[in-house]
Each structure stands twice: as structure tokens, then as C-alpha cells.
């Protein structure tokens, strides 16, 4: 009987693995496409506050239409839900805009190398702000993460301080986003897809006034005309693509977060960065020195050691 039970369990285990595999592959592919179009747009139209706002606006619109047409069921939310979501949205907004500002100043690969150091921020915030302690191997894994990122940063040919700080701020903000979201998603009254949709809507409300204050319609209008003159009408499609793919990759990542542990999620996220780093270096012909690549490899290896040590 035991072996029959084992046998009957097998397909569902395999189906679960397949489902997670599909989620991961989709998440990485969508993310690579987002990063490429986002950088193409930023190269021609260097207004990261507007492109960040458009990504959130596009996602919010897609979800409002899906709810109105009943393509997706609208979530039942109360004031308490939005109150708990607020700090998550603040952190999401800061992390998003900081990463986009970073990518407007440096190569996509450099931003993502620095962003692969996110686990180090997670440990330091948990240790010094939340008083959480970890086993010694977890702290040791921070040595290659921090060392690798530092080596990659000092040997980066096109280093830029705003680009570097943007990626660092994004890391810090996303650590807080993850800490707050864990609390917010507890009880699971709203599933991953709708949770991310609400997050987009709230972040859009938070970001819009800041984007107008920092850049503003006058600069956008001039920049838009220049980009259209330089690229042609297909520039509009690049903007649409970066916005749609931003929403889709985040939606899939939140949907997979529903199914897997935060640890598996962070391993998936690191592997995602490898695909983004490699594909953006190829597509944008980013110059890389061997010592620079070594720094990136050490940092990424460190994040794997970190996930092993946390296990």
C-alpha cells in the first residue's frame, strides 16, 4: 500500500515542480525583455522617474481592465489591507525608481551585479534593525557577496556614483519591501496576482507627484520629441514593451512567491540576474574586463553560498 501511495504522490510532485519550473522560466524571460527595452528607452529618453511611473501605470491599467471585464476576479479588500500595504508600496516605489535611475546612468549588467548583493542587505538589516541572529556560515557568505560586488564596482569601466548608489538604495528598499510584504501576505486573503496589482496601484499614487516634481511635463515633452526624432515611431512601442513587461515579470514573481518559500524565491531571483547580466552584455556590447567579470562571479557565488547557509 505504502508504495502505491508513493506512486500516486509522484505525478503531483512532478506536476508541482513543472509548474514552478514554468513560473521561473517565464519570470526570467519576462525580466530579460523588460531590462532590454527599459535600457533602450532610457538611452534615448533619460527620464527614469517617468519610465518608472509609466511601468506602474500600465500595470495598474491592465489590472483594472482585467477586473472590470472579469478576466480576473477583483480582490475583496478593506482599509486594514491598504494600511498594511502602504509601507510595502513605499518600499516598492523607492526600490523601483532607484533601480531605474541606476540603469539610466550605468550598464544594466552593473546595476544587476550590485543588486545581486541584496542578501547582504537582508542579513545586515535583520541583524542590526530587527535583532535577528544567523548561524556563522550565513555571515561568512557575506564576505564573497560584499567582496565580489566591491571588486566589480572598482573595476567597472563606466562607473558612475548615482548609478552605484541607485542600485544600493534599491537593495535596501527591497529588503524592507520583502519584510513588510511577508506580513501583508500572511493569511493569504489576496493571492499573489492581485496583491501585486494593488501594490502597483498604490505605488503609482505615491510616485506620480514625485515624478512630476523631479522631472515634470516640460522636460518630458522635449525629451519625447527628441527620442521620436532619433528613433522614430517604434520608440513608442519600446515604452509600451518596457511597461507591459515590467508588470508581467513582477506579477509572475509574486504568483510564484505564493507557491514557494522565500529562500527558493531568492535563489530564483539570483539566477534571474545571471540571465539579465549575460543577455544585456551581449545585446548592448557592454565592455567587460576579466577582473570585472571575476568580481561579478564571486558575488553571485556568494549569494548561492548564502542560500545554502540559510537552509
H or E segment to which residue 111 belongs: helix 108-115
Phi, psi of 161 (to 5 degrees): -65, -40
Instruction: Answer yes or no whether residue 115 interacts with ligand 3PG by CB under 6 A.
Output: yes
Is 194:83 a contact under the CB 8 Å cutoff?
no
> d(Cα 84, Cα 202) in Å, to the nearest integer?
11
User: Binder to ligand 3PG among 41, 89, 99, 197 (CB under 6 A)?
Assistant: 99
- Under DSSP, the state recorded for 258 is T
Segment 277 to 296, residues that bind ligand 3PG, using CB under 6 A: none
Of the two residues 99 and 142, which places its CB atom closer to ligand 3PG in the complex? 99
User: Binder to ligand 3PG among 100, 122, 194, 203 (CB under 6 A)?
Assistant: 100
* Closest CB 223 distance from ligand 3PG, rounded Å: 19
Of the two residues 40 and 115, which places its CB atom closer to ligand 3PG in the complex? 115
> d(Cα 127, Cα 110) in Å, to the nearest integer?
27
> d(Cα 120, Cα 103) in Å, to the nearest integer?
21
* Closest CB 166 distance from ligand 3PG, rounded Å: 10
Instruction: Answer yes or no whether residue 243 interacts with ligand 3PG by CB under 6 A.
Output: no
Window contacting ligand 3PG (CB under 6 A); options: 96-104, 138-146, 147-155, 176-184:
96-104
Q: What is the CA radius of gyration of the chain?
A: 20
> d(Cα 91, Cα 32) in Å, to the nearest integer?
23
Instruction: Answer yes or no whether residue 96 interacts with ligand 3PG by CB under 6 A.
Output: yes
Instruction: Answer yes or no whether residue 39 interacts with ligand 3PG by CB under 6 A.
Output: no
Site string for ligand 3PG, 147-166 (x = CB under 6 A): --------------------
> d(Cα 52, Cα 38) in Å, to the nearest integer?
9
Of the two residues 195 and 233, which places its CB atom closer to ligand 3PG in the complex? 195
Window contacting ligand 3PG (CB under 6 A); options: 64-72, 94-102, 138-146, 219-227:
94-102
* Closest CB 174 distance from ligand 3PG, rounded Å: 6
* Closest CB 94 distance from ligand 3PG, rounded Å: 10
Tell me how many residues contact ligand 3PG (CB under 6 A).
Answer: 5
CA angle 289, 305, 112 (to 5 degrees): 40
Of the two residues 67 and 210, which places its CB atom closer to ligand 3PG in the complex? 210
SS3 108: helix
The angle that helices 262-283 and 108-115 make with each other, rounded to 10 degrees, is: 160
Which one, of 235, 219, 216, lies nearest residue 227 by Cα? 235
Is 239:53 a contact under the CB 8 Å cutoff?
no
Of the two residues 274 and 297, which places its CB atom closer to ligand 3PG in the complex? 274
Segment 74 to 93, residues that bind ligand 3PG, using CB under 6 A: none
Pull the grid cell for residue 259.
Answer: 507557491
Q: Please report, as ranges, the residues that interact with ligand 3PG according to CB under 6 A.
A: 96, 99-100, 115, 174
Amino acid at each position: 500500500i505504502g508504495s502505491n501511495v508513493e506512486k500516486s504522490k509522484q505525478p503531483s510532485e512532478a506536476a508541482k515542480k513543472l509548474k514552478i519550473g514554468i513560473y521561473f522560466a517565464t519570470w526570467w524571460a519576462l525580466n530579460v525583455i523588460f531590462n532590454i527595452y527599459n535600457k533602450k528607452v532610457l538611452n534615448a529618453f533619460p527620464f527614469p522617474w517617468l519610465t518608472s511611473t509609466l511601468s506602474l501605470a500600465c500595470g495598474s491599467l491592465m489590472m483594472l481592465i482585467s477586473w472590470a471585464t472579469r478576466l480576473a476576479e477583483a480582490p475583496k479588500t478593506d482599509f486594514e489591507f491598504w494600511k498594511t500595504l502602504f509601507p510595502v508600496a513605499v518600499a516598492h516605489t523607492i526600490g523601483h525608481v532607484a533601480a531605474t535611475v541606476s540603469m539610466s546612468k550605468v550598464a544594466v549588467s552593473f546595476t544587476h551585479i550590485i543588486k545581486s548583493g541584496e542578501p547582504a542587505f537582508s542579513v545586515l538589516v535583520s541583524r542590526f534593525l530587527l535583532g535577528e541572529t544567523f548561524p556563522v556560515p550565513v555571515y561568512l557568505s557575506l564576505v564573497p557577496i560584499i567582496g565580489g560586488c566591491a571588486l566589480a564596482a572598482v573595476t567597472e569601466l563606466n562607473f558612475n556614483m548615482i548609478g552605484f548608489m541607485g542600485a544600493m538604495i534599491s537593495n535596501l528598499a527591497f529588503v524592507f519591501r520583502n519584510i513588510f510584504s511577508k506580513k501583508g501576505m500572511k493569511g493569504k486573503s489576496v493571492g499573489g496576482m492581485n496583491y501585486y496589482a494593488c501594490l502597483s496601484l498604490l505605488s503609482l499614487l505615491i510616485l506620480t507627484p514625485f515624478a512630476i516634481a523631479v522631472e515634470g511635463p516640460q522636460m518630458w515633452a522635449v525629451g519625447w520629441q527628441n527620442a521620436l526624432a532619433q528613433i522614430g515611431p517604434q520608440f513608442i512601442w519600446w515604452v509600451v514593451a518596457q511597461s507591459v513587461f515590467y508588470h508581467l515579470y513582477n506579477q509572475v514573481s509574486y504568483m510564484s512567491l505564493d507557491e514557494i518559500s522565500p529562500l527558493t524565491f531568492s535563489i530564483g531571483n539570483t539566477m534571474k540576474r545571471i540571465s539579465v547580466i549575460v543577455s544585456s552584455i551581449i545585446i548592448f556590447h557592454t565592455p567587460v574586463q576579466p577582473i570585472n567579470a571575476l568580481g561579478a562571479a564571486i558575488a553571485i557565488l556568494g549569494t548561492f553560498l548564502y542560500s545554502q547557509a540559510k537552509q
